Structures are given as C-alpha cells and as structure tokens.
Amino acid sequence: MDAQRLAAAKEELERLRQEVLREVRATGDASRHLDTDDVPDLGDMSTRSYDRDVLYNLSEVQRQKIRDIDTALELLEQGDYGICVRCGEEISPKRLEVRPFSRYCIECKTEVERFGE
C-alpha cells in the first residue's frame, strides 16, 4: 500500500475513532436522562429497562469498534496495515474502503465467522 493510501487510512481511522467516542458520550448523556420522572408507571419502567439494555449493548459494540480501530492504527504504525492477520494476504482495497479497520480478508473473515477462531 502506498504512502498516500496509508495516510488516508490513518486519517479515516482517527475520524472513525472520534465519531465512536462522540457516540459514547451521547449515549452516556441519554442514559442519564432515563431516570428523570419522579413516579414512573409500569410502562415507563419497562421502557427504561429496555432503553438501558439497548444502551448497554450499544456501548459494548462501541467498545469493540474502538478496539478494532486501535488495532488497525497499531498495524498501520508497524507497517502491517491492510494485511490479513490470518493468512497474510493483502486485504482488498474495496474492503478497507468499506471497513477500514478490517483485520481479515473476506475469505478468512467468512471462515472465522463460520467456524470461530
């Protein structure tokens, strides 16, 4: 991968990281507003419980995305960005364009999802 593409990838990864952090902050702000009623009825409590579950799950997805982005940035610094960590082949530019923090080529990702790793 040429230097211009690597610089663009680094910029995109850092942008995505900041976007996720903004989402996390917004999610935190939303969760603080869930307990604003003094006397909630059963429906309110049910809705709040569901909202908390959704917010919890979103935050786990966000944490994983941050970890994936950080790993991609480390790989970029090491000179291994864009190389599948499983087979060592180059990850297609199209895949990296869609998901810049991909660690696997499409074939290996399919295998990992199918059989686990």
pLDDT digits (tens, 9 = 90+) for 19-34: 998 887 776 655 555 5
Q: Are 9 and 76 within 8 A, CB to CB?
A: yes
**What percent of the chain lies above the pLDDT cut of 70?**
72
pLDDT of residue 59: 78
Would you place residue 61 in the very low, low, confident or very high pLDDT band (cuts 50, 70, 90)?
confident
* Section 39-51 average pLDDT: 60
User: Which residues fall within 8 angstroms of residue 69, CB to CB, at 6 or more apart?
Assistant: 13, 16, 17, 20, 101
Does the structure show a pLDDT above 80 at 39?
no
pLDDT of residue 9: 96
CATH 1.20.120.910 in the chain, residue ranges = 1-81
Altogether, the residues listed in the chain come to a count of 117
Whole-number Å distance between alpha carbons of 29 and 27: 5
Rg (CA), the chain: 19
pLDDT digits (tens, 9 = 90+) for 73-110: 999 999 999 999 999 999 999 999 999 999 999 999 99
- Report DSSP letters for 23-85, one per residue: HHHHHHHHHHGGG--SS--HHHHHHHHHHHHHHHHHHHHHHHHHHHHHHHHHHHHHT-TTB-T
pTM here is 0.71
What are the structure tokens assigned to 101, written together?
Answer: 């923090």
* Higher pLDDT among residues 50 and 86, named by residue: 86
Judge: domain 1-81, CATH 1.20.120.910. yes
